[in-house]
Structure 1
Amino acid sequence: MAHHAEPITDAARAAQTLERLFDEHEHAVFFGGAGVSTASGIPDFRSVDGLYRQHFDYPPETMLSHSFYVEHPAEFFRFYRERMVALDAQPNACHRTLAALEHVGKLDAVVTQNIDGLHQAAGSRRVWELHGSVHRNICQGCGAVYDARWVCSREHEDGRGVPVCPVCGGTVKPDVVLYEEPLDERVLEGAVRAIAQADLLVIGGTSLVVYPAAGLTRYFQGDKLVIVNRDPTPQDAAADVLISCEIAQAFSF
């Protein structure tokens, strides 16, 4: 591994570098976080104008925890609808390029920490969603599945804004991994397998501080590790190529 690679800050050079790397490798995997969707108008968590810098009655980490969901369901769903679901968001250049790379056989899989479904909206088919998706909402009673529009429509509520299953009356919970909840074992195994088999791993739009997701990079044994992120990450020293510019511009090729 090359250490302390000089970051590429020019978007055009970044795009050329990424295009060449994808051309040179047979089994690329992309591992992404919230920064991938900021160009689609979805705020990330930890940057200057991110979700965690805004002011709410409770810290966002608390409101997105399993215990808060159980103890304060009305407040949970108000925050969730307002801040976590972005039904009008559209895929950006990064999502579209990754879908195109998969289509021509240059990308084996996308591993994402995002719950917005934009990779699938862009056309990606092999997507491991580590933290679930706002587009699946599951009745805790009978297992019926509802989409995000249904949860946001407020048609089926208990009077406090909590969605209730019209089939059995059970509470409908978003299929997203909250703080204090484990990752889905099947998804985790699929993501680990994809990363372990990759010869090129491109990490993008993630601060690499949220575990266990950030720990998945240790399974990579391939040829080139690339980190594309506006701000430095704790794993920069391990990267062969560092790109420090807007990710949607870096993936405009």
Structure 2
Amino acid sequence: MEKDLQQLQTIMDHGKRIVFFTGAGASTESGIPDFRSVDGLYHQQYDYPPEEIISHHFFEENPKEFYRFYRSRMIYPNAQPNAAHRFIAELERTGRGLGVVTQNIDNLHTLAGSRKVAELHGSIMRNYCVHCHHEEGLDWMIQSEDLPRCPICGALMKPDVVLYEEALDESVMEQALTWIHQADVLIICGTSLAVYPAAGMVRYFTGDQLVVINKTATPMDNNADLCIQAPLAQTLAQLHV
């Protein structure tokens, strides 16, 4: 592990355009469970499978059950950035962090101070009316009861998160692909690269050094210049910017 950390530090020191591609494993050390771990959402007991509950058709057909799950399992308002989020934000401040491409919806990268964040799957911080597109923030959603209704027109409000069966935002995808293509170092971290089309974006990387930091194996391990199987925050906490 010590040798891997030294190699990672060297890669960081020489990188001029570093991009992080983060998944749920970036936030588990902040107390937010991921979907596929032994303790994750896919292993919870509900009347429906979690992947069905957070689908577009389920939101439309059974919004009450959707919101029961969403409020209890997808919103963690007290979660705080961990060492990984802080390291990534600090690297951006040096000018060597080109951007963060994240599959997470928890806003922790922004809360840590990162300003260049492409949120592929949206954010819990925003909610919009499905009819008039009026927007409200996270506090409003937390304070709302039962089915959250638009204060303007009374229609149903929807979290600004990408559900199964929904397309990713094209402008966010374009920004993410631009950063990945421009990067000389891409660090894939805290993701098993199992969710598409987000996971497929990393194949647009043509730079010098590819690093994978994840607790379990990923499809990109064999392509990586460095592969570290360890918790992300614990790993980055041992480096210096």
Given the two structures, how large is their TM-score scaled by the length of structure 2?
0.96
Work out whether 1:149 is the aligned partner of 2:145: no
Alignment of structure 1 residues 94-113 onto 2, 5 Å: 94-113=84-103
Give the distance between the partners of 1:17 and 1:120, measured in 2 at CA. Answer: 28
Match of 1:200 among 159, 167, 185: 185
Q: Does 2:43 match 1:53?
A: yes
Counterpart amino acid of residue 196 in structure 1: H
Superposition RMSD in Å: 1.1
Separation of aligned partners in 2, 1:13 and 1:250: 12
Q: Secondary structure at the match of 1:125?
A: coil
Distance 1:169 1:199, change over 3 A: same
1:46–1:52 CA contact under 8 A, matched in 2: yes
Q: Is the 8 A contact 1:31 1:201 kept in 2?
A: yes
Alpha-carbon separation, structure 1, partners of 2:232 and 2:91: 16
What are the superposed Cα offsets for residues 102-125 of structure 1, whole Å, 9 maximum, x if unpaired? 001121000000000000000000
Unaligned runs of at least 5 residues, structure 1: 1-9
Q: Does 1:243 align with 2:228?
A: yes
Amino acid of the structure 1 residue aligned with 2:44: Q
Distance 1:122 1:212 in 2: 26
Question: Aligned match of 2:53 in 56, 59, 63?
Answer: 63
Partner SS for 2:159: strand
CA deviation string 1:177-212 (max 9, x = no partner): 000000000000110010001000000000011110
* Aligned equivalent of 1:86, options 73, 76, 98: 76
List runs of 5+ in structure 2 lacking aligned partners.
none
**Normalising by the residue count of structure 1, what TM-score does the alignment of the two structures yield?**
0.92
1:27·1:200 contact (CA, 8 Å) conserved in 2?
Answer: yes
Verify: 1:31 aligned to 2:10, yes or no. no
**Post-superposition offset of 1:141:** 2.1
Residue 133 of structure 1: aligned partner: 123
| Letter paired with 2:58 | F
Residues 15 and 249 in structure 1, CA contact (< 8 A), matched pair in contact too? no
**Distance in 1 between residues matched to 2:99 and 2:157, nearest whole Å:** 30
CA distance in 2, matches of 1:15, 1:83: 34
Q: Is the 2:34–2:41 contact (alpha carbons within 8 Å) kept by the matching residues of 1?
A: yes
Partner of 1:7: none
Equivalent pair of 2:124/2:161 in contact (CA under 8 Å) = yes
Report the Cα offset of residue 20 of structure 1.
2.1
Is 1:43 the counterpart of 2:33? The answer is yes
C-alpha contact 1:23 1:106 (8 A) present in aligned 2: no
Tell me, in whole angstroms, the C-alpha distance in 1 between the residues paired with 2:134 and 2:7. Answer: 46
Indicate conservation of the 8 Å contact 2:4/2:226, yes or no.
Answer: no
Contact 1:18–1:250 (CA under 8 A) maintained in structure 2: no
**How far did residue 51 of structure 1 move?**
1.0
SS at match of 1:108: strand
Residue range with higher mean Cα deviation, 14-23 or 212-221: 14-23
Partner Cα distance (1:124, 1:15) in 2: 23
Separation in structure 1 between the aligned mates of residue 8 and residue 70 of structure 2, nearest angstrom: 35
- C-alpha distance after superposition, 1:42-99 (max 9, x if no partner): 0001111111111111100000000000000000001000000100000000000000
Identity of aligned residues (%): 55
Report runs of 4+ in structure 1 exceeding 6 Å deviation.
Answer: none
Given that 1:139 and 1:145 are in contact with CA atoms closer than 8 Å, whether structure 2 keeps it comes out as yes
1:168 aligned partner: 153
